[in-house]
Amino acid sequence: MAPHSLQDEGVVDLEQNLNDVEIRPPSPPPMSAKPPRLLIIGAGSRGRTYARCSLQSSNGVIAAVAEPDDYKRDDFGSKFIWGRRTSPPDGSSFKDWKEYVTWETDRRRRQTAGETVPEGVDTAFICVRDDLHIDVIMALAPLGLHIMCEKPLATTLEDCTSIYRTLAPIQTSKVISIGHVMRYSPHNMLLRKLLLKDNAIGDILSVNHTEPVGFWHFSHSYVRGNWRKESVTAPSLLTKSCHDIDILLWLLCSPAPGSNAPEHLPASVTSTGSVQFFRKGRKPKAAGNATNCLSCPAENDCMYSSKRIYVGKRHLGVETGNIRWPISIVLPDIESYGDDIDKAKDAMLSVLAEDYDISTPQEVIDSKNWFGRCVFESDNDVCDEQVVTMTWEDDPLPQSSATAKDALGARGAKQATFHMIAQTKKQCQRYTYIYGTEGEIYADSKTITVEDFRTGETKTYKPKLESLGHGGGDHGLTRQFVLAVDRVKNSGWRAEDAQRELIGCSLEEIIRSHAMVFAAEEARRERKTVDWKVWWDKNVSTM
């Protein structure tokens, strides 16, 4: 059973009022005698982020890594697991998740036979390529590990529902989480509290939420990078903006903190969007027939010049001394050059010069990124601008289970509009306007401003950041997930209690936000309005 007070044990209360509280990087909860042992599958940017957050803010230990790239795997292991040892301990380093599954299966066989074997892991952070998530989850599920999967859960609706059906039966014993880190930032936790618990602007009537991706950020990830083609990954609404759809459903669909009311489910969804800018028709005439920045006559004047972005000082190029994102994505072994900027620049320019043409096999083109490619000549096909509109109808609770106010109240008709746009100076600094029956709220990445129509007062809240990673959300999610695993492993908690009390997001909520993305994409492609209940019953609710 869960203790009476989570705060007594140093647990982060997901709904506490964080305004005017000095927030420092969160201290880890007390270590247990047998702390949760963590496996990181994928030693890229997200894998390293969760590893760092685990060490800094959780009471778990990183026990193993699975990563096909030799440099990334060894570098990760030396930093987070085995330190300066010349070779990794048995069971701590794997070339990929398949090698881990084979090793773990044999380890359990040997253990059953009475042999002395290394200690296994309790949980896995899945941080591989999006389209591989389903394969990894399906392979890990029989092993009975707790699972935290980086977003998105999968790249197709079919795969998401398959995962749903596979993981649902193990919820009684295992906790499951998704990398929707925005739920765990102090900013968004306070916003939800103000809206749903404090009733700061009365009932919500309308929400306008914008994600400004950033002009060069979008070109890096969604024109030149991993997520440029829907056929290889998924729509940008899923790969980039499933965070935002999830947050909107968290605010407008999930019940208020402490309430046992059912979810207020949406009524409809519509969407429009396209490849509006990053296409050949927008290519500057001065660029001529050039397909690669390093041979382009317009390179010096182009704000999408790969040389400017990855080498120069204007953004986060090699000349700034940056060795993290996005440089580490283009040049994974950037740290191996130490302080030798000239060698690092030469290596970067060599990568940027890589190109393909009509004779290059499609499988070769799809198998890697081309960061020197002209953004107007790339093979990208994901939307660089999209609008999604969701509506809710009156859905009163039965009088027998609600007060007169709650019978409708927050369950009245409302709508939310989401706008994802690539061409912005702001980089993922989301902002939201929320209009209520008794006031309105403006929230950005730093402040929350509440206008109260009843009193005429204006209040501004400035939650302190725990870190820069998604406004503290990276640390918050990692801490809460590992703590949930610890409570199940060491304190006798039921997995359902740990999921609810510490993770604060159910498996059905995870699936619902992903399903909403696919429903919106169907609405966009077919230029129609999707009836949410009919669509859900047809495509998801067959359990």
Helices (H), 97-156: 97-112, 133-140
Structural domain contains residue 131 = yes
Per-residue three-class SS string for 482-535: HHHHHHHHHCCCCHHHHHHHHHCCCHHHHHHHHHHHHHHHHHHHHCCCEEHHHH
Phi, psi of 169 (to 5 degrees): -65, -20
Residue at a domain's end among 366, 401, 431: 366
C-alpha separations of 181 from 31, 121, 175, 189, 242 in Å? 23, 23, 16, 11, 11
Give the domain CATH number at 51.
Answer: 3.40.50.720
Name beta bridge partners: 65.
Answer: 40, 93
Residue-level pLDDT at 256: 80
Assess whether 28 and 174 both reside in one domain. Answer: yes
Structural domain contains residue 231 = no
Phi, psi of 147 (to 5 degrees): -130, 130
Structural domain contains residue 78 = yes
From CA 465, how far away is CA 446, in angstroms rounded? 9
Q: What is the mean pLDDT of each run of 10 residues along the chain (543 residues)?
A: 30 35 65 96 94 94 97 94 91 98 98 97 97 97 97 96 95 96 93 95 97 97 94 94 96 85 94 97 96 96 96 91 92 91 96 92 88 96 98 82 55 96 95 98 95 97 72 89 98 96 94 97 98 96 63
Q: Tokens 């009245």 identify what position?
A: 412
Assess whether 476 and 426 both reside in one domain. Answer: no
Asked if 433 contacts 407 with a C-beta cutoff of 8 angstroms, the reply is no
Q: In the structure encoding, which two tokens stand for residue 128, read together?
A: 């591989």
Assess whether 419 and 487 both reside in one domain. Answer: no
Residue-level pLDDT at 257: 77
Is the four-CA dihedral 488, 492, 496, 498 of positive or negative sign? negative
Structural domain contains residue 224 = no
From CA 354, how far away is CA 304, in angstroms rounded? 16
pLDDT in tens, 158-210: 999 999 999 999 999 999 999 999 999 999 999 999 999 999 999 999 999 99
Assess whether 528 and 488 both reside in one domain. Answer: no
Assess whether 501 and 533 both reside in one domain. Answer: no
Structural domain contains residue 436 = yes
CB atoms closer than 10 angstroms to residue 229: 16
Assess whether 445 and 310 both reside in one domain. Answer: no
Domain count, the chain: 3
* pTM of structure: 0.90
Range of the domain at 287: 280-366
Asked if 512 contacts 242 with a C-beta cutoff of 8 angstroms, the reply is no
Residue-level pLDDT at 286: 97
Assess whether 118 and 249 both reside in one domain. Answer: no
Torsion of CA 245, 248, 252, 253, to 10 degrees: 30
Assess whether 115 and 25 both reside in one domain. Answer: yes
Stretch (H or E) spanning 39? strand 37-41
Assess whether 288 and 326 both reside in one domain. Answer: yes
From CA 269, how far away is CA 535, in angstroms rounded? 10
Per-residue three-class SS string for 413-436: CEEEEEEEECCCCCCCCCEEEEEE
Of 262, 266, 148, 258, the C-alpha closest to 192 is 258
Structural domain contains residue 237 = no
Structural domain contains residue 217 = no
Structural domain contains residue 1 = no
Assess whether 167 and 254 both reside in one domain. Answer: no
Assess whether 421 and 487 both reside in one domain. Answer: no
Asked if 83 contacts 67 with a C-beta cutoff of 8 angstroms, the reply is no
From CA 412, how far away is CA 89, in angstroms rounded? 58
Assess whether 164 and 199 both reside in one domain. Answer: no
From CA 468, how far away is CA 461, in angstroms rounded? 18
Residue-level pLDDT at 10: 31
Q: What angle do CA 197, 414, 275 make, to 5 degrees?
A: 115
Helices 242-252 and 507-526 sit at what angle, rounded to 10 degrees?
A: 120
Residue at a domain's end among 308, 335, 366: 366
Give the domain CATH number at 407.
Answer: 3.30.360.10
First and final C-alpha spacing in the chain? 28
